[in-house]
Amino acid sequence: MISKYVNALLMPLLLLGVVIGIWSYIALQIPGFPPPGEVWSELFVVLSDPFYNNGAGDQGIALQLGNSLARVFGGFVLAIAVGIPVGLLIGMSRSAYSAMNPYIQILKPVSPLAWLPLALFVFKDVNMTAIFVIFITSIWPIIINTALGVRSVSDDYLNVARVLQLTPFERVFQIILPVAVPFIFTGMRLSLGIAWLVIVAAEMLTGGVGIGFWIWDEYNNLNYSHIIIGIILIGVIGYILDTLMGLIADFFDYRKRGRV
Amino acid sequence: MSAKPFLNIDHVDKIFPLGGGKEYVALRDVKLEIAENEIISIIGHSGCGKSTLLNMIAGLDTITNGVILLEDREINAPGPERAVVFQNHSLLPWLSVYQNIEMAVKKVLGDGLSPSALKEHVAKYIEMVNLTAAQDKYPGEISGGMKQRVGIARALSIQPKVLLMDEPFGALDSLTRANLQDHLMRIQMQTGNTVVIITHDVDEAVLLSDRVIMMTNGPEATIGEILEVNLPRPRKRLELQHNPEYLRCREAIIEFLYQKFAKHDD
């Protein structure tokens, strides 16, 4: 019992001490690198007035993060809206799979930043560009996992559907989707993680407002402690997003109700 | 046998193409007439095509040559008048016991039932397999024997003309199996269903059936012998142990399986 708490609490704290030690050493070696103490006190400055708005380019941290989150959700929702039907289609139809698979495999590894100039040229709008880049990079795990979920429906369940003479529509909603839903959520969880990674890079290039822009802006202001604060906040929010998605996924996963 | 058999398996072949112009003849010239309310067992070694035969009656497998008729209507697709109890129960794990049966009833009988009649109907079949106490549990929360009882209740709840059972108790321990066999006999006496059971258990075949169909080994498996079991119903497992007719039937099947058509591999 005691060793459990030691592992859960004391060990991370111990490691934190080591990290702060190394960090302090680096700060001594590189002139201008913010030491832990400075970042700690700056964190309170940044968090004390998160909602101030002095116009474009100078806004509180909460507004920066809020803008980034809004773009992430925009792209993410679009990716879900398109990705799930496409995934269902290629999961159920061999020919649709054959038609689309080569393009999915080729487009999937393309870096989000490669899409960015093209999107900027087409949309000529920072928000639309960011949302599109999120969409195009986070849609692949949703498509692939949805298709995988559909293909993992066992023949036994499909035989039940055949004996009961379910219509194709009933088959999708009563047999295929319940099996595929946990897979779809796994895809969505991966997608959201990717989206949160992508937004920082995208906003550094598009500028305006958003956590990615904020970090880049603070770099230009030589305000290095804010860069580290940005990194920490991005990490914390990414963790919260992932945990929330995990909880939602568990809620819709029939395997979590009773053992199978 | 009457002039018009209830279920008529008429010179049926099942041939699987193997590619490269080769083929595997699983079943050759199977003919069998089954009367209404009859309980038939099909027994044979693994690989004799007995499951394939059942799947063809169910409409889940295509028939290569010949025809299967149910009440003079050709079978060419699955349908709820031929309910199947699958070997691995095939319950939908995201639905409770009640919902699994309700879903089938809604689909097959749904239009003619009021909500309260639907509820009553589902409850009746859950009651029939003594699972009322577990009706809100999910398949993952109940034992293998209970799952199979739900499978039987689901199959019966859609009031099929024929109940097709593919080694329904094969995956269960022998005590649970005996219990379910008794359940099945009691329910069949209530409902009067026509039942076709695939099995590889000699005692199960004799205990449950009016006739036991013995299959030869594949390839080109077919019906080797048909054994009439002249035991009155209801049958009591204990009383049968020394019944001469029971022993005669048992012996005949064992002789067929292990002497005439013994399988020497595995």
* pLDDT given at position B3: 60
Residue where a domain terminates, one of B159, B178, B196: B159
Chain B closest CA to A244's CA: distance in Å? 22
Instruction: Verify that B47 and B138 share a domain, yes or no.
Output: no
Q: List, in sequence order, every residue forming a beta bridge with B30; answer none if it has no partner.
A: B12
Q: How confident is the model at residue B265 (pLDDT cuts 50, 70, 90)?
A: low
Instruction: Verify that B245 and B167 share a domain, yes or no.
Output: yes
Residue B45 domain-assigned? Answer: yes
Instruction: Verify that B203 and B103 share a domain, yes or no.
Output: no
A221: left (phi > 0), else alpha (psi -120 to 50), else beta?
Answer: alpha
**C-beta atoms of A254 and B94 within 8 A:** yes
Among A59, A111, A70, smallest CA distance to A217 is for: A59
Among the partner-chain residues B104, B138, B140, the one whose CB lies closest to the CB of A164 is B104
**Structural domain count of chain B:** 2
* pLDDT given at position B88: 83
CB contact, 8 Å: A173 with chain B? no
Domain residue ranges of chain A, discontinuous segments joined by +: 68-255
Residue B73 domain-assigned? Answer: yes
The arithmetic mean of pLDDT across residues A175-196, rounded, is: 94
CB pairs under 8 A between A and B: 63
Of B2 and A33, the one with more pLDDT: A33
Residue B207 domain-assigned? Answer: yes
CB contact, 8 Å: B94 with chain A? yes
CB contact, 8 Å: B139 with chain A? yes
pLDDT tens digits for range A59-113? 889 999 999 999 999 999 999 999 999 999 999 999 999 999 999 999 999 998 8
Instruction: Verify that B167 and B153 share a domain, yes or no.
Output: no
Q: How far lies B251's CA from each of A66, B40, B174, in Å?
A: 80, 18, 20
For the cut 50, the answer to whether the pLDDT of residue B241 exceeds it is yes
* pLDDT given at position B1: 47
- CB-facing half-sphere around the CA of B40: CA atoms within 13 A: 26
The arithmetic mean of pLDDT across residues A212-229, rounded, is: 93
Q: Give the DSSP letter string of B35-95.
A: -TT-EEEEE--TTSSHHHHHHHHHTSS--SEEEEEETTEE--S--TTEEEE-TT----TTS
CB contact, 8 Å: A253 with chain B? no
Residue B252 domain-assigned? Answer: yes
Instruction: Verify that B75 and B193 share a domain, yes or no.
Output: yes
| CA B252/CA B232 separation, integer angstroms | 19
Q: How far is C-alpha B182 from the geometric centre of its chain's CA atoms?
A: 15
Q: How confident is the model at residue B209 (pLDDT cuts 50, 70, 90)?
A: very high
* pLDDT given at position A235: 96
Q: How confident is the model at residue B48 (pLDDT cuts 50, 70, 90)?
A: confident
In chain A, the residue whose alpha carbon lies closest to the alpha carbon of B141 is: A258
Instruction: Verify that B173 and B184 share a domain, yes or no.
Output: yes
Query: Running DSSP on this structure, what letter comes out for residue B257?
Result: I
Please, which contacts does B237-245 make with residues 24 or more away whose CB atoms are closer than 8 Å? Answer: B237/B178, B237/B181, B237/B182, B237/B207, B240/B206, B240/B207
pLDDT tens digits for range B150-173? 999 999 999 999 999 999 988 888
Cβ neighbour number for residue A94 with a 10 Å cutoff: 8
| CA A152/CA A145 separation, integer angstroms | 10
* pLDDT given at position A57: 75
For the cut 80, the answer to whether the pLDDT of residue A178 exceeds it is yes
| Burial class (CB within 10 angstroms; exposed 0-12, middle 13-18, buried 19+) of A195 | buried
pLDDT tens digits for range B211-236? 999 999 978 999 999 999 999 988 99
Instruction: Verify that B143 and B167 share a domain, yes or no.
Output: no
**C-beta atoms of B140 and A260 within 8 A:** yes
**C-beta atoms of B58 and A163 within 8 A:** yes
| CA B144/CA B17 separation, integer angstroms | 36
Instruction: Verify that B69 and B31 share a domain, yes or no.
Output: yes
Minimum mean pLDDT among A100-109, A169-178, A250-259, B240-249: which range? A250-259
Best mutation target among B94, B97, B137, B163 (most A Cβ atoms within 10 Å) is B94
Residue B86 domain-assigned? Answer: no
Among the partner-chain residues B90, B107, B141, the one whose CB lies closest to the CB of A157 is B90
Residue where a domain terminates, one of B137, B159, B181: B159
Residue B24 backbone phi and psi in degrees, to 5:
-115, 120
CB contact, 8 Å: B86 with chain A? yes
End-to-end Cα distance, chain B: 39
Share of chain B above pLDDT 70, in %: 98
Best mutation target among A163, A164, A169, A171 (most B Cβ atoms within 10 Å) is A163
Instruction: Verify that B39 and B96 share a domain, yes or no.
Output: no
Residue B201 domain-assigned? Answer: yes
CATH assignment of A68-255? 1.10.3720.10
Classify strands B7-19 and B162-166 as parallel, antiparallel or unpaired. unpaired
Chain A closest CA to B151's CA: distance in Å? 11
How high is the mean pLDDT of chain A?
92
Q: What residues in A contact B147, CB-CB < 8 Å?
A: none
Where residue B256 sits, what CATH number does that domain have? 3.40.50.300
Tokens representing residue B59 in the block: 């409409």
For the cut 70, the answer to whether the pLDDT of residue B266 exceeds it is no
Instruction: Verify that B250 and B177 share a domain, yes or no.
Output: yes
Among the partner-chain residues B60, B79, B139, the one whose CB lies closest to the CB of A159 is B60
For the cut 50, the answer to whether the pLDDT of residue B184 exceeds it is yes
Chain A closest CA to B204's CA: distance in Å? 24
Q: List, in sequence order, every residue forming a beta bridge with B195; answer none if it has no partner.
A: B39, B163
Cβ neighbour number for residue B168 with a 10 Å cutoff: 28
Q: Which domain holds residue B129?
A: 92-159
**C-beta atoms of B140 and A258 within 8 A:** yes
For the cut 90, the answer to whether the pLDDT of residue A208 exceeds it is no
Amino acid at B63: I
Cβ neighbour number for residue A41 with a 10 Å cutoff: 10
Q: How confident is the model at residue A259 (pLDDT cuts 50, 70, 90)?
A: very low
CB contact, 8 Å: A260 with chain B? yes
Q: What residues in A contact B79, CB-CB < 8 Å?
A: 163, 165
Residue where a domain terminates, one of B159, B194, B210: B159
CB contact, 8 Å: B147 with chain A? no
Among B251, B228, B224, smallest CA distance to B45 is for: B224
Q: How confident is the model at residue B176 (pLDDT cuts 50, 70, 90)?
A: confident
**C-beta atoms of A170 and B140 within 8 A:** no
For the cut 80, the answer to whether the pLDDT of residue B4 exceeds it is no
Best mutation target among B54, B91, B92, B150 (most A Cβ atoms within 10 Å) is B92
CB contact, 8 Å: A155 with chain B? no
CB contact, 8 Å: A4 with chain B? no
Chain B closest CA to A147's CA: distance in Å? 19
Q: How far lies A43's CA from each of A31, A39, A52, A196, B216, in Å?
A: 20, 6, 15, 21, 82
Amino acid at A244: L
Tokens representing residue B191 in the block: 């409902």
Asked if residue B249 lies in contact with residue B229, where contact means CB atoms within 8 angstroms, the answer is yes
Q: How far lies A51's CA from each of A59, A64, A71, A181, A241, in Å?
A: 7, 9, 18, 38, 21
* pLDDT given at position A257: 63
CB contact, 8 Å: A40 with chain B? no
How high is the mean pLDDT of chain B?
91
pLDDT tens digits for range A19-68? 999 999 999 999 989 999 999 999 999 999 888 888 777 888 999 999 99
Instruction: Verify that B116 and B194 share a domain, yes or no.
Output: no
Instruction: Verify that B178 and B263 share a domain, yes or no.
Output: yes
| CA A205/CA B22 separation, integer angstroms | 63
